[in-house]
Amino acid sequence: MDVTLAAEHQELREQVTEILGDELAPLIRRMADRPRHGAAPDDAEIRALVWQALTGMGALGLNQSPAPGDRRGLRGLAVLAERLGEVLYQGPLLDTVLASEALLRCAPDPGRERLLKEIAEGASVAAAVRDGGVRPYDAPLAAGATGDTVGAERRFVGFAAEADWLLVPGRTADGVHRTALVRRDQPGVHLRRHEELGRGELYAVRLADAPVTFWLTPEGDAETAWHELIASARTLQAAYLVGLARGALRLGADRLKERRQFGGALAKQQAPAFQLARLATRVDAAHLLTQQAAWEGDTGRDHRLTAGQALAMAATLAQDTGRDVLHLHGAHGMTDASDAQLFYRRATVESRVLGSPARVRADVMPLLWERGPAD
Amino acid sequence: MDLAPTPEQRAYRDEVRALLDTDEVRAETAAVRTRPGTEGGLLDIYRRLGERGLLAPNWPREYGGSGLGIAEKAILTEELIAHGVPDIAHTLSVDIVGLALLLYGTDRQKSRLLPPIARGESVAGVLFSEPEAGSDLGALRTRAERDGDGWRLSGRKVYSAKTQLADFALCAARTTESEVPFHGITVFLVPLRPPGVAVEPLWNIGDERFNEVTLSGIRVTEEDVLGTVDDGWGVIGEILGLERTGIEFQAKARRWLDAALERTGAEGLAPAEADRLVALDADVRAARLLAWRCVDDLHAGRSDEVRSAMAKYWAGETGREVALAASGAAGLDALLAGDDEESLGHGVLEAACREAPGLTLASGTSEVMLTVIASAGLGLLA
Ligand SMILES: Cc1cc2nc3c(=O)[nH]c(=O)nc-3n(C[C@H](O)[C@H](O)[C@H](O)COP(=O)(O)OP(=O)(O)OC[C@H]3O[C@@H](n4cnc5c(N)ncnc54)[C@H](O)[C@@H]3O)c2cc1C
């Protein structure tokens, strides 16, 4: 059993770390944050730059293996997602790779190939999955009578206003699971930006007879494909949250070294130092479990249980780290000038967008008794 | 042990509730909550309570109070918070500054400064924290230099709430350099409007802004000293200790938890979430008991620093946890802010998530409380 990253993933990590480097990290963190006071910074340029750099390094094609049915990309994507979380990147990248993941699960078809190519070339997708309640999946979806339009209400859709496509899964009135791909700039697509805790780019999306470009029809059993896709989404979100916790932890450790009270650096006090040491251990634990989920997915194993467990673990960790690191910053951590509050707010939103940890655990709970012996 | 309120306390609570359960109060509160950046200061509701002597119920009548007890003051705090009325102006002005004046103020200071606060027409602030002196307040650097029969104050104070609206503030400054720790600090009553005082916002995630207050040689006299020159550390310790009951923190936790319970109902929760809410409800109830134990202590003329540290620690930690867990159980819509047209209850749980980090920092951080419990309570850390 080798739990270290394979050479190709090490290399990928280095490449991503170079692109989203420490000098750029403070700028990326503030990307898409709209302050409650004062004007939002004009960050269009840096956003475009980051998107170009990520697509340029082939991030959108990581899971598009040339061999059909061979999905070796989840580990690589998890490595990427972790770094994205660490620098608090906000953007449509993970939704876009999930859309290509969903397309890859469909039967080959000229429409599918065209879309995959567009995505590999830089088209972006926003996943319009959730309603506003506690269940992030299985929101209702109505296919038009002729089958070429769709109606749905979705909430908390990231970057809907700038994505080229919307991926809209849901359950029809007769209980069938379906997924539509809709061009964002079509009539019948209505967007409204949420005012929410993260103050990011999250939108309410209303589709009223919006034209569907492509209905995704998975090869094999639709339910199984849907659950596998959810597991992949959970794996990537878990990786993002592990990264977020890692980034927050670093910020916290830096603060303890800088901040002096009682005649010395706070870093010399055992209580806060141990608090961060505990979190650091949890970060490594959650990182490895997330990588295990990705490995299971990549090697054709059933990764639903591990992905759910990894997401719940990473979500709780990210929330706890955001909370504790803010606290260790003192009142300064609450100010707009401090990134500690940014990590805290983002951790709170990001740890819930795929369902609260309790719900995710409840969802995968039956799989615990179906699991085979460990390898 | 008798956990029932006295008939007088019940009547007082009913009176306050009747005043707060009105459309005007609901409208005023909603306006503050749905427009970010419009924090509550001199609210009409404060004036309405003030007119009846209810805003500072425990103050003597001559200063605008009703001569009631500390329990009535706690009831008022609970009810303001339960009704969603921003309470910080009240807590700072009545509970902290008012208490300091009642304990240490001269008759002249009290009759000049207390009545406008009790009428809800004036707010007072606290200028203790500095960029380099937070938990370690003894390290404060603001100087009071002798100037004839008075002093000139120079320094930078941070994180003060409501000072943009306040007429004056308690300000801790160093009057004497001393080898003896904590000696040489004096508490002044500093006017905030004159030239020489600059108040700048330090925007933060909460609805209540922090301010940075720069004092550039503003002149104060003996008239403005609270307590004794050079002995301010005792004044600070006493007022922070007496004010520290955890009552406002547990009341916030209760409001947020109830908002989530109302939203979720028992059906549809994951068992673990339901379990968490039951446990948190117990924590909030215990927080209330710990807080009321401190209120009882004060009523009986006792004050116990370990009990009040426990009450503040428990209520602060519980409140922060409630904000996160309650909003988590209530679904993503709970994170919509008050100015989103689809927010739940004017974004009460979203605002809770923004206010929550302050609960374990303000009025003595959790670590400072644990230090008191460990040292004074358990004889540790010696
Ligand atoms: C909502 C709010 C309102 C406030 N209002 C006012 C106001 O009106 N006027 C005013 O003067 N101030 C105000 N403050 C400031 C408050 O008093 C300070 O935040 C508090 O004293 C802590 O100082 P600090 O924030 O500088 O944290 P720091 O002292 O920098 O501490 C940072 C963190 O390290 C921890 N820590 C520090 N020392 C130790 C140690 N030895 N061992 C273990 N842990 C340690 C702290 O508990 C904290 O979590 C307010 C703060 C808040 C959050």
CA of A177 to the centre of ligand 1 (A): 52
B167 touches chain A (CB under 8 A): no
Secondary structure (H, E, C), chain B: CCCCCCHHHHHHHHHHHHHHCCHHHHHHHHHHHHCCCCCCCCCHHHHHHHHCCCCCCCCCHHHCCCCCCHHHHHHHHHHHHHCCCCCHHHHHHHHHHHHHHHHHCCHHHHHHHHHHHHCCCCCEEEECCECCECCCHHHCCCEEEEECCEEEEEEEEEEEECCCCCCEEEEEEECCCCCCCCCCEEEEEEECCCCCEEEEEECECCCCCEEEEEEEEEEEEHHHEECCCCEHHHHHHHHHHHHCCCHHHHHHHHHHHHHHHHHHCCCCCCHHHHHHHHHHHHHHHHHHHHHHHHHHHHHCCCCCHHHHHHHHHHHHHHHHHHHHHHHHHCCHHHHECCCCCCCCHHHHHHHHHHHHHHHCCCCCCHHHHHHHHHHHHCCCCC
Q: What tokens does A367 get?
A: 């799989």
The CB of B361 under 6 Å from ligand 1? The reply is yes
Q: pLDDT band at A220, cuts 50/70/90? A: confident
Q: Is B358 in the pocket of ligand 1 (CB under 6 A)?
A: yes
Of B136, B357, B361, the CB nearest to A344: B357
CATH 1.10.540.10 assigned to B7-122: yes
Closest protein CA for atom 9 of ligand 1: B160
Total residue count of chain A as it appears in this document: 375
**C-beta of residue A99 within 8 angstroms of C-beta of residue A165:** yes
The answer to whether the Cβ–Cβ distance between B204 and A198 falls below 8 Å is no
In chain A, which residue's Cα lies nearest the Cα of B357? A327
Residue to mutate (ligand 1; options B91, B128, B135; most atoms within 8 A of CB): B135
Could you give the percent of chain A with pLDDT greater than 90?
70
Q: What is the mean pLDDT of residues A47-69?
A: 77
Q: Give CA–CA dist A165/A202, Å, rounded.
A: 15
Residue A9 CB less than 6 A away from ligand 1: no
Tell me whether residue B309 is exposed, middle or buried, using C-beta atoms within 10 angstroms of its C-beta: 0 to 12, 13 to 18, 19 or more: buried
- Asked if pLDDT for residue B232 goes beyond 90, the answer is yes
pLDDT of residue A134: 64
Cβ(A328) – ligand 1 distance below 6 Å: yes
Q: Where are the beta strands (DSSP E) in chain A?
A: 125-127, 142-143, 149-158, 165-171, 177-183, 189-193, 202-211, 214-216, 260-261, 264-265
- Residue A341 has its nearest CB partner, among B205, B342, B366, at B205
Contact between chains at A352 and B272 (C-beta distance less than 8 A)? no
Q: Tell me if B202 and A335 make a contact (CB, 8 A cut-off).
A: yes
Q: What is the mean pLDDT of residues A190-207?
A: 96
Q: Determine contact: A327 vs chain B, CB below 8 A.
A: yes
**Chain B residues touching A356 at Cβ < 8 A:** 270, 273, 328-329
Say yes or no for a CB contact (<8 Å) between B134 and A261. yes
Q: In this predicted structure, what is the pLDDT of residue A1?
A: 72
With CA atoms as reference, the chain A residue closest to B321 would be A323
Superfamily of domain B244-377: Butyryl-CoA Dehydrogenase, subunit A, domain 3 (1.20.140.10)
User: Which has more confidence, B155 or B269?
Assistant: B155
Strand order in the sheet with A177-183: A125-127, A165-171, A177-183, A214-216
Neighbours of A285 (CB within 10 A): 15
What's the mean pLDDT when you consider all of chain B? 94
Q: Which residues of A touch B136 (CB under 8 A)?
A: 261-263
pLDDT reading at A116 higher than 60: yes
- Is pLDDT above 50 for A365? yes
With beta carbons less than 8 A apart as the criterion, state whether A73 and A64 touch: yes
The answer to whether A361 contacts B276, with C-beta atoms less than 8 Å apart, is no
Q: Using the 8-state DSSP alphabet, how is residue A266 labeled?
A: G
- Kindly list the structural domains of chain A, giving each domain's residue range(s) and its CATH number in brackets, ordered by start: 222-371 (1.20.140.10)
Specify the residue with its C-alpha closest to ligand 1, atom 36. B367
pLDDT digits (tens, 9 = 90+) for A267-325: 999 999 999 999 999 999 999 999 999 999 999 899 999 999 999 999 999 999 999 99
Please identify among residues 242-271 of chain A the ones whose CB lies closer than 8 Å to any CB of chain B: 260-263, 271
**How far apart are alpha carbons A89 and A24 in whole angstroms?**
11
| Ligand 1 near B6 CB (within 6 A) | no
Cβ of B126 less than 6 Å from ligand 1: yes
- Give the span between the Cα atoms of B207 and A37, in whole angstroms: 11
Q: What are phi and psi of A188, to 5 degrees?
A: 90, -5
CA distances from A284 to A88, A242, A310, A313, A314 (A): 18, 8, 12, 11, 10
Contact at CB, B273 and A334, closer than 8 angstroms = no
> Closest chain A residue to B272 measured between Cα atoms?
A358
A334/B210 Cβ within 8 A:
yes
Question: Which of chain B's residues have a Cβ under 8 Å away from the Cβ of A358?
Answer: 270-273, 276, 328-329
Q: Is B342 in Cβ contact with A134 (below 8 Å)? A: no
Q: What is the pLDDT of residues B256-314, one digit of tens each?
A: 999 999 988 777 788 899 999 999 999 999 999 999 999 999 999 888 999 999 999 99
> Do the chains contact at A260 and B340, CB–CB below 8 Å?
no
- Domain covering B126-229 in this structure, CATH number: 2.40.110.10
pLDDT digits (tens, 9 = 90+) for A71-88: 558 999 999 999 999 999
CA distance A336 to chain B (A): 5
Q: Inform me whether the pLDDT recorded for A98 exceeds 80.
A: yes
**What part of B 169-228 touches A (C-beta under 8 Å)?**
201-206, 210
pLDDT in tens, A333-355: 999 999 999 999 999 999 999 99
Local structure of A321: helix, strand or coil: helix
CA distance A228 to chain B (A): 22
**Chain B within 8 Å of A358 (Cβ-Cβ)?**
yes
**Inter-chain residue contact B337 with A353, CB threshold 8 Å:** no
Residue A69 predicted with pLDDT over 70: no
For residue A70, the model assigns a pLDDT of 47
Contacts of B326 in chain A (CB under 8 A): none
Q: What pLDDT is attached to residue A248?
A: 98
Task: Give the 3-state secondary structure of residue A150.
Answer: strand
Interchain proximity B335–A196, CB inside 8 Å: yes
pLDDT at B142 over 60: yes
Is residue A333 within 6 Å of ligand 1 at its C-beta? no
Ligand 1 contacts CB of residue A145 (under 6 A):
no
pLDDT average, residue stretch A220-227: 87
What average pLDDT does this structure show over B18-44? 81
Average pLDDT, stretch B48-55? 93
Taken as a whole, chain B contains a residue count of 382
Q: What does each C-alpha distance from B305 to A104, B241, B362, B371 come to in angstroms?
A: 65, 6, 17, 11
Nearest chain A CA: its distance from B32 CA (Å): 15
CA distance A361 to A348: 18
All structural domains of chain B with their residue ranges: 7-122, 126-229, 244-377
Ligand 1 closest atom vs CA B157: 11
Is the Cβ of B377 closer than 8 Å to some Cβ of chain A? no
Mean pLDDT lowest among A145-149, A157-161, A323-327, B55-59: A145-149
